[in-house]
Amino acid sequence: MKDLLRTTTSLTEGVENILNLQAKLESDASNKYLAMAAWLDRNGFANTASYLYKQAEEEREHFLKIFKFITDMGGIAVTPSVPEVQQEFASFREVFEIALQNEIAVTQAINKVIAKCRAENDYATEDFMMWYVAEQREEEKNARRALELFELINENEATGKFELDVQIAKIG
């Protein structure tokens, strides 16, 4: 009797499930950045708004990369639902504090995917996910740098917010 499961896909059910969860997380991250960018835009922070619009695009690319990988491996990619995201923020600084928290959550989730791959001896998926490890290192560094700029530039000074808007947009 043929092994139809293995000939159809190289992903185990466990790895496929966790990859679908990761794809959803990346998709959600894209929407969160989009909401942040819109908030920044309507509050006059045009430069950082552009920066976060770009981040939203990047997160969507990360989502699609996983989504495509699942189907390429013969798995079943599940289109994620779109949940409500936070639309309002207390301050300019809070936007970037939340952005860093999101990036940390994504990094932790990626580590879980890799741990699962190792537990199931799925080295092909582990190799694929290594790109995300490097990417998250960069994303977290950038998110931390944004908060660091809030320490260096006093946003309550005359041109503080304006300067922060210019400098944060230069990150990365």
Partner 1 sequence: MALVSDLTTKVLFETEKGYSYQCDLTNKIIINFVDTVSSYKIQDFLLFQRKVNNVDILDMLYDLSDKSDAQLIETTKRNFSRNLTICEIVQLRELLNGTKFTLNLHSMLCNIVNVELI
Q: Contact residues for partner 1 (CB under 8 A)?
A: 1-9, 74, 76
To partner 1, the closest distance from the beta carbon of 155 in angstroms equals: 48
Closer residue to partner 1 in complex, CB, 4/158: 4
To partner 1, the closest distance from the beta carbon of 9 in angstroms equals: 8
Q: Distance (Å, rounded) from C-alpha 27 to C-alpha 85?
A: 12
Closer residue to partner 1 in complex, CB, 74/160: 74
Closer residue to partner 1 in complex, CB, 5/46: 5
Closer residue to partner 1 in complex, CB, 4/90: 4
Place of tokens 């989730």: 109
CB atoms within 10 A of CB 42: 9
3-class SS string, 107-167? HHHHHHHHHHHHHCCCHHHHHHHHHHHHHHHHHHHHHHHHHHHHHHCCCCCCCHHHHHHHH
Assign 20 to helix, strand or coil: helix
End-to-end Cα separation, the chain, in angstroms:
54
To partner 1, the closest distance from the beta carbon of 123 in angstroms equals: 15
Q: Distance (Å, rounded) from C-alpha 116 to C-alpha 111?
A: 9
Closer residue to partner 1 in complex, CB, 7/87: 7
Which residues have C-beta within 8 Å of that of residue 62, sequence separation ≥ 6?
A: 26, 29, 30, 132, 135
To partner 1, the closest distance from the beta carbon of 67 in angstroms equals: 15
To partner 1, the closest distance from the beta carbon of 74 in angstroms equals: 8
